[in-house]
Structure 1
């Protein structure tokens, strides 16, 4: 019987069974384990490698599938092949080991599928969180391009914080929301998502706590988790985050930061009330917790202007304010901004320069023109009218097709209706069944820390005709799944 003194390293990110597979193949390739050599029984191997028996079973299954070993009833497991064809395939660089050992975690499987299915032909996108092609202001864009074409003298790298003219324009623009920040306290980023990435890299150590609403868009990302930080979902009521939840979950021995979308929350569409905003600021000040305010949906109000941003009441520099034109104009510009204390912005800009040397120069030039010329404000006025029409039509369709199987909110702005099913069905089954019917949905369990029976319905992307077809078809799929689940339970 062969002697094994090697042990897999449990501190490695590479799965234990893969380490064992790689070790045995290496021993075969060097001739240490010859053809005909019998491997010890599974129980003995688990003792030798100091792992669970299930890990051994997984390793042996892979070795069998790749043709290196063979198991016979009563005869144990034997090495049966060391041919060059097999070994040459394994002697190549194994990229899987590198991928598995990387820092950044992969997207949730459902989100990976969403990202791929969005670009399939004839798919109806019921959950996409961006303005649809119909909402793009082509005529205004042509005017901007004409104006910018004469201003482009070069397209070199810009200073770390971004184009000064754009930062000045944004500084002036934010005054309409009672936010007073200088251009030196603003960083131009490639969308609010990059702002979150920079914050995670720049000011938070591993082990930090990230407090946020439950459910939350941030839950669908792995920005903070990949760096060893912990996401904590906080309960909400009809006013927003419950302040006592912040106090109860504040880390005493670890750094803690609050991430919130107080205005037209993603995915629920909720708006934090003015009194709750004041209470939240006071609570975070008491607990000495900084705040990331994600305000990318603010300009998309429909029924009434929402309460002022948290940043407008920030007297102590506790709030990092995130804005973007991805939701209000077009995500393809890849332009957003962070406003905060100047020394924090300096830190973020230094890390940004280490990652991409600055956001698109031509996009920054165009957004400067968009906002500075007043065309952006004109576009928003038209966009709100279109979003109101789309929201109301979507609510009509839901009333026709979902009234007996779901409940939902009536958003006052933003893109999303947070629909809750009345029946407890598998959202994974629903997602796959809908995808087969060319219907793409965003199931609520990608945003929720607990079990969710919700769907995020977006009225911003698909055309009204597609929304009607897609939602009615989705209603039929849900009803079919409910009948199937009911039938199974009877038996």
Structure 2
């Protein structure tokens, strides 16, 4: 097993962004200075991490562009440890406690489920050629049926299968929106950490939130009639705050956007991770003007490695995006699409979600107890009704950068709030979906010690 060093932690984090689809091949990664600041390490540490990734063939330096993602398939797989080797970021023996990952731990999944599905497919596959432009037809039918059962009726011809939700965003941004557009989004927002729209010359306009989600009056105040744009929103279990947009607020947003011809991108990848009660109807289901493009995914609920997501929208829009996707990659993996179709088409997915919710509820309950035991006097937070994330704000003014540096040195990972706000923040994002209850407890207990020291 490779040693747990600061450069390895940086390198593994970069690999995770690529593996999860956040940085596509050809995408420019943050500069050495930015990475050094984010991880509170010397630039020499970042340089060592990048050299390691260059040797592995994962990134490359391009004159005039900086360091870009060279490959996210074979080179990335070759750099990962073999099955019997323990990954340092997932190892309890290594001392790493990961409170940053926005995904489910492997032990949340029922044993043998995926193997059962693959076994059922083994006698059905005759060939694995390129699929239709919109994706494997049985999968499009299964997604349409699943969304209809959810309360969002769509037809298979209104679905485009994409390689994860991130590719969906990239296709929409590059294929439908104009350079220089204003993108309105919740503040804080996931978009500040992925730079998809900024990389295409678009500006981000943060809109304030409350306990019901994005505030309509603030959107109205910041809306600019002279600039083209779109609203990007995560209405269910928002990343990073965990807020659920209320049904009344959804109707307000739909009404405003329809009246002002402001298109909406609804990122609904956390919808099925509800724990207390099912979410309100999707924006897409209530849209009567064809104003909403809907993004769904199996990455947060089933497997990030399948790289299966979809866009639901008006057929002419889906046709255009399908053309762009074919130009980009000739289609999502045929095998992954068949696996996903088997899950969705046979009702296995809904049964699987029941298991996931029970496991995630236990983790949320344990996380809540840990926070109340150790941080109730120095921080405030709202326990979400689902999803993975707790947005925690410190009551005193402390350096999140220094806290992050102390945590990394001790092998504890979390996300500083600044990567979601684009500036200074007194908040951090914690995830209870990945670390076990004992790890979460230990991480929070040790974190309190540094918080108190930094506040003096």
Same-fold call, TM cutoff 0.5: yes
Rounded Cα–Cα distance in structure 2 between residues aligned with 1:118 and 1:229: 34
Are the equivalent residues in 1 in contact too, given 2:100–2:415 (CA < 8 A)? yes
Report 1:200-219 matches (<5 A).
Answer: 200-219=173-192
- Name which of 231, 255, 262 aligns with 1:289: 262
Which aligned runs of 4 or more in structure 1 are off by greater than 3 angstroms?
A: 94-97, 100-104, 116-122
SS of the equivalent of 2:376 reads coil
- Name which of 429, 433, 437 aligns with 2:406: 433
Are the equivalent residues in 2 in contact too, given 1:126–1:457 (CA < 8 A)? yes
Q: CA deviation at 1:482?
A: 1.6
SS of the equivalent of 2:243 reads coil
1:275 paired to 2:241:
no
1:376 paired to 2:349:
yes
SS of the equivalent of 1:138 reads coil
- Name which of 298, 302, 324 aligns with 1:351: 324
SS of the equivalent of 1:162 reads coil
1:99 paired to 2:65:
yes
Are the equivalent residues in 1 in contact too, given 2:237–2:271 (CA < 8 A)? yes
CA RMSD of aligned residues (A): 1.9
How many residues align? The count is 379
Rounded Cα–Cα distance in structure 1 between residues aligned with 2:229 and 2:89: 35
Q: Deviations over 1:155-198 (max 9, x none)?
A: 11111111000000111111122212111110001111110011
Report 1:182-193 matches (<5 A).
Answer: 182-193=155-166
SS of the equivalent of 1:181 reads coil
Are the equivalent residues in 2 in contact too, given 1:250–1:256 (CA < 8 A)? no
Q: CA deviation at 1:97?
A: 3.2
Q: CA deviation at 1:103?
A: 12
SS of the equivalent of 2:63 reads helix
Q: Could you tell me which residue of structure 2 aligns to residue 234 of structure 1? A: 207
Are the equivalent residues in 2 in contact too, given 1:397–1:471 (CA < 8 A)? yes
Residue 398 to residue 332, structure 1, CA distance change in 2 (3 Å) = same
Are the equivalent residues in 1 in contact too, given 2:61–2:68 (CA < 8 A)? no
Structure 1: 5+ residue runs without aligned partners? 1-93, 105-115, 484-491
Q: Could you tell me which residue of structure 2 aligns to residue 305 of structure 1? A: 278
1:396 paired to 2:362:
no
Structure 2: 5+ residue runs without aligned partners? 1-59, 71-86
| TM-score using structure 1 length | 0.74
SS of the equivalent of 1:244 reads helix
Report 1:43-442 matches (<5 A).
Answer: 95=61, 97-100=63-66, 118=89, 121-442=94-415
Q: Deviations over 1:266-294 (max 9, x none)?
A: 11111111111101100000110000001
SS of the equivalent of 1:293 reads strand
Q: Could you tell me which residue of structure 1 aligns to residue 78 of structure 2? A: none
1:456 paired to 2:422:
no
Rounded Cα–Cα distance in structure 2 between residues aligned with 1:394 and 1:265: 18
